[in-house]
Chain A
């Protein structure tokens, strides 16, 4: 067996463990077992907080950034955002537990892990700039009439995503899509 440690692969294994258990409740033992590494290596060389930050980085670059990239570069503008929101409403959480990892961790560790703040700020910047690009695209095609309102619409859509994270598990997909469409109706 090779002695070289593939950090990226190990971090990928840690992501679902944090998602399912949260940060505080998960033990070094659970993490080491799930990642297939020794407890002492994890404890001495890595640390739980650093592993959490690495896991969030991994989650963002594997699952979230491609979505922002799709939105920013689509020629469908606002409709591309709607597509993503519908997809979230239709997602099956048994299969893909990571949909809102960032939210769960934020809820648990709000104001506690200071090193998380820049991560969220970067995440929000990426979200806003991709939405803004899409809305400008829609302005070009005439789907949105007021360019000066775009920053306001961006904020509204950002908020909608955070709200969805709460209702997602309580409402049916049909109801959620209804909600989403009525919100998009306020924009166009």
Chain B
């Protein structure tokens, strides 16, 4: 096996910031070459093409930057959910990420493409499964999957909200409406 001449994840992290801030369609391969200092041949050799780079960034983001660990905290269901959603609006400054979620931003920009279909659907499915598990652990009430589904949709809603509303407005919205969704688990 030949040694990699570049750090794959470091390159992908730079691409995340690039695609997120300038749009996937707004970023040419030349720009990626300039920003990552990896030449075109090596990029293609590693990722196939620009779509390959995108897919790799999405997987990396889902693994590294979605705060899954929050869902495992010992706090109450409401606290955990609020912290999870709100975390997207208080990004870690070291990441140089804009506010929001990279995956849903790409899902919105590339909504007409087949490329995003499988990834985003499986991401939402994964989100739903994790919420279902969380509800099972935290609530004594039997959950038929509806609340978990609503929470996954609510994720999309929150990510849509911040595009137009301020961070404070979005947080207030999350707080108010999470209560409504989880209310049926407490009755």
Contacts and interface: CB of A to CB of B under 8 A. Distances in A.
Interface of A: 22, 24-25, 93, 103-104, 106-108, 110, 120, 124, 152, 155-156, 159-160, 162-171, 179, 182-183, 186
B74 to A, nearest CB: 28
A136 B117 CA distance: 39
Interface in B20-70: 23, 25-26
A107 B98 CA distance: 12
B143 interface: no
Contacts, number: 90
Given A107-B105, A155-B176, A170-B120, A163 B23 contact: no
A160 to B, nearest CB: 6
Contacts of B112: 93, 169
- Of A93, A104, A110, A166, the most chain B CB neighbours within 10 A belong to A166
Nearest to B120: A170
B34 to A, nearest CB: 18
A95 to B, nearest CB: 13
A167 B177 contact: no
5 contacts: A155-B177, A156-B180, A162-B161, A163-B153, A168-B111
Top 7 nearest A-B pairs (CB, nearest first) are A163-B157, A162-B160, A169-B111, A166-B156, A163-B156, A163-B160, A159-B157
